Amino acid sequence: MSWRPTYRSSKFRNVYGKVANREHCYDGVPITKNVHDNHFCAVNSKFVAVVTESAGGGSFMVIPVSQAGRLDSHYPKVCGHQGNVLDIKWNPFFENIVASCSEDTSVRVWEIPDGGLRRNMTEAVLELYGHSRRVGLIEWHPTSSGILFSAGYDYKILIWNLEIGEPVKMIDCHTDVILSMSFNTDGSLLATSCKDKKLRVIEPRSGRVLQQASCKNHRVNRVVFLGNMKRLLTTGVSRWNTRQIALWDQEDLAMPIVEEDIDGLSGLLFPFYDADTHMLYLAGKGDGNIRYFEITTEKPYLQYLMEFRSPAPQKGLGVMPKHGLDVSACEVYRFYKLVTLKGLIEPISMIVPRRSDTYQEDIYPMTAGTEPALSATEWLSGIDRDPVLMSLKDGYHRPNQLVFKAPVKEKKSVVVNGIDLLENVPPRTENELLRMFFRQQDELRRLKEELTTKDVRIRQLELELNNLKNVSPNNV
């Protein structure tokens, strides 16, 4: 009986990972030790943002991409949150705008000056309050310039219109903590995975659940849309506690198209999908390796390519957008790996080996650019548009003329028993409660001293008045 291996020709079969030299890494970064399952890192063509370990609140560091090397121990931070920062994301259309969410129940939007920070930043452009518990996930809409999604531990997803600085929709269909969110290409569908072991495809503007899968055999952790293939990919754990990936038809979640076991390790698997090359990267939290596959619309659907290996475990990974890659080196993907034990951010480039130095059009198709396809108002009115595409051939340094404008909110007041409830916001964390308590104690002590002084002065004036009455009773 003859046996033939199932080899398949692919231009990405020999993609390899190249670690940057030490002088091109970012050293001396106090990376957070928080055990929350997230990347704690966000990257664009200008900046690398990473959540840091700090006392008395949450902070993150913003480093210019060109400023590699060892950082000063007093490097400035963004430190306006009162609780630990759990997620950070750069706006895909305004490269100086970054959003963060925290255990203090707030979502904040920051504007980073060109060249990076010179001092600690504490004032956000927008402070968004709407969740009743800590906020664990944020995602920017892929085609609209002013829409931000946030998922909290109150099991709710809020849609924020940043043009007015207010929540415009609440999605309340989950019964447990939301683990991940992913958009399709034009942002008309939202896929979520939840701790209640269910996978959902949601129409975000109405909040209607279009498809739902109860994943008992494959416990879903992370979900990602596979571009325009009408497929979803999830990572999770099988009933035998092996790490697993599954491919789903987004219009029918009754059964996965294919399931594949990866290994028996326990770290969470993070999926990264590149729609331009149809490559899927799998990176486990605490692992040192990154596996990559090619995804097709025909069997076997998932084609294993190769594996990047490293001895250093990864805390999280940031991904450079396409317009920030080095096309002259045939770089198709770039990770920024957080190595907590060394305080190191390590760039890892995924490179297609080519002999020619010319532009390789077959591996760099037209890709989603830095211009929004529609405004927040247009998207909320029901319009859907595909992303505005750009070519990477001519160096792709097209300046973005858009300017982010924060809404100017009128000061409102809600007075109850002489107290402005909007002016006197209740504390959201234990540290904030303690600080408020001690401030109030100091204020009470000062008021008591002032009251005692005034009582003494009143008695003195009463005695002086009585003396005047006794000295000249006829003149009074």
Domain assignment present for 368: yes
The answer to whether the beta carbons of residues 88 and 48 sit under 8 Å apart is no
pTM of the full structure? 0.81
Whether the predicted pLDDT of 86 surpasses 90 = yes
Span 104-156, pLDDT tens digits: 999 999 999 998 899 999 999 999 999 999 999 999 999 998 999 999 999 99
Whether the predicted pLDDT of 31 surpasses 80 = yes
Whether the predicted pLDDT of 422 surpasses 60 = no
SS3 string, 141-193, reads CCCECCEEEEEECCCCEEEEECCCCEEEEEECCCCCCEEEEEECCCCCCEEEE
Burial annotation 384-398 (CB, 10 A radius, 16+ → b, else e): beebeebbbeeebee
Backbone angles phi, psi at 468, to 5 degrees: -60, -40
Tokens found for residue 73: 């121990």
Domain assignment present for 2: no
Which residue reads 């402005």 in tokens?
420
Span 322-343, pLDDT tens digits: 999 998 889 999 999 999 888 9
> What's the pLDDT at 299?
84
Domain assignment present for 274: yes
Whether the predicted pLDDT of 437 surpasses 70 = yes
Of 86-90, 155-159, 435-439, give the lowest mean pLDDT range. Answer: 435-439
Q: Which long-range contacts (CB under 8 A, 24 or more apart) does 113-120 make?
A: 114/46, 115/64, 116/47, 116/62, 116/63, 116/64, 116/67, 117/62, 117/76, 117/77, 117/78, 118/76, 119/76, 120/76, 120/77, 120/78, 120/79
Span 209-224, pLDDT tens digits: 999 988 777 889 999 9
Domain assignment present for 455: no
Whether the predicted pLDDT of 420 surpasses 70 = no
How many domains is the chain built from? 1
Q: What is the mean pLDDT of the chain?
A: 86
Which of 326-340, 357-371, 413-427 is predicted most confidently?
326-340
> Domain containing 164: what range?
16-395
How far is 414 from 412, CA to CA, in rounded Å? 7
Domain assignment present for 402: no
Domain assignment present for 115: yes
Report, as an integer, the average pLDDT of 338-355.
91
Report, as an integer, the average pLDDT of 415-420.
46
CA 392 to chain centre: 26
Domain assignment present for 415: no
Domain assignment present for 380: yes
Q: What is the DSSP string of 70-135?
A: EPPTT---EEEESS-EEEEEE-SS-TTEEEEEETTSEEEEEEPPTT--SS-B---SEEEE--SS-E
Whether the predicted pLDDT of 95 surpasses 80 = yes
The answer to whether the beta carbons of residues 195 and 179 sit under 8 Å apart is yes
User: How does DSSP classify residue 452?
Assistant: H
Span 209-268, pLDDT tens digits: 999 988 777 889 999 999 888 999 999 998 888 999 999 998 989 888 998 898 888 888
Domain with residue 291: its CATH number is: 2.130.10.10
